[in-house]
Amino acid sequence: MEARLDLFGNAVSGKFLRYINSAGKVLDDSTLPTSTQELVKLRASQINGCGFCTDMHSKDAAAAGETSLRLNLVAAWREAKVFTDAERAALELVEQGTRIADAAGGVTDEAWANAAKHYDEDQLAALVSLIALINAYNRMNVIVQQPAGDYQPGMFG
């Protein structure tokens, strides 16, 4: 399987990706815990059916020390006992923020208030930005049918 379009090889999409990758660096440098960031990216990628990003973020999380038990339970986080209350709040926010079209009201006040109990304003800003960013990556990769399975941690810098 080959992608419909080489996103990095095309001048327009390549330039766009360089810009949003720079935006991602801001989030990497934030105080939002790296483990939370990877769980959020993985859950959004699962919801959006982005095999490439699911592959990437499960491998990046594992390389950063995340356990296979927790990675295997991300899709069923509500029933799993292995996530902290803060992580659960972030996972709820990413689900609601990713499934905006499925809920007339978007993200509920309850989900926001729960996240705000665990994260300060800068971390909330990073979390909201991360949810928007991973959804953009997911959509690009799904649209071009980017194949999954070959990603190696760190291969993009």
C-alpha distances in Å from residue 58, one per residue of 9, 49, 105, 115 = 25, 14, 30, 23
Give me the residues of the chain with pLDDT under 70, please.
none
DSSP state of 101: G
- DSSP per-residue string spanning 7-72: TTTSHHHHHHHHHHHHHHHHHHTSSS-HHHHHHHHHHHHHHHT-HHHHHHHHHHHHHTT--HHHHH
Domain 12-143 class? mainly alpha
- Written as one letter, the residue type at 149 is G
Indicate the domain borders of the chain: 12-143
The CA distance from 118 to 4, in Å, is 41
Tell me what the pLDDT averaged over the chain comes to.
Answer: 96
| pLDDT at residue 145, as a whole number | 98
| pLDDT at residue 108, as a whole number | 94
| pLDDT at residue 1, as a whole number | 81
* Residue where the block lists tokens 């930005």: 129
DSSP state of 154: T
